[in-house]
Amino acid sequence: MARILVIEDNPANLKLVSLLLRNAGYEVLCAPDAEAGIALARAERPDLVLMDLQLPGMDGLAATAILKGDEATRAIPVIALTAMAMKSDQEASVVAGCDAFIAKPLRYQELFATVDALLAKPPGAR
């Protein structure tokens, strides 16, 4: 069973994403901010991270750059989640190291298709 770390500060969004993923058979780890998420990613080495970009304190782009710059977490795919779905936001997420981008509100088909595609890739292909 794949483990997915969800870094999300909005309790309603966190609950929804966690419920969807658990119902799909994934183990879900949760963090309410970037700092806790980075620490959890380093300690638990999840198979994938869902990263809200608008977080209190450090934003999701900075957190992604830290994860991608760390040898221990570099290969973990990161999906950016944001309500700001402008082309420049998507480009900034790529620059930070995100492997995919999903706009909120979440559409569960898109979420599962993206998660499944990234988890199917061999570690070296990420």
Query: Domain total for the chain?
Result: 1
Model pLDDT, residue 85:
67
Give domain status of residue 126, yes or no.
no
Per residue of the chain (126 residues), what is the pLDDT tens digit?
Answer: 899 999 999 999 999 999 999 999 999 999 999 999 999 999 999 999 999 999 999 999 999 999 999 999 999 999 999 887 677 778 888 889 999 999 888 899 999 999 999 999 655 443
Domain limits for position 104: 3-121
35-71 confidence digits (pLDDT tens): 999 999 999 999 999 999 999 999 999 999 999 999 9
Report the predicted TM-score, pTM, of the whole model to 2 decimal places: 0.92
CATH code (residue 65): 3.40.50.2300
What is the dihedral angle through the alpha carbons of 13, 24, 4, 86, rounded to the nearest 10 degrees? -50
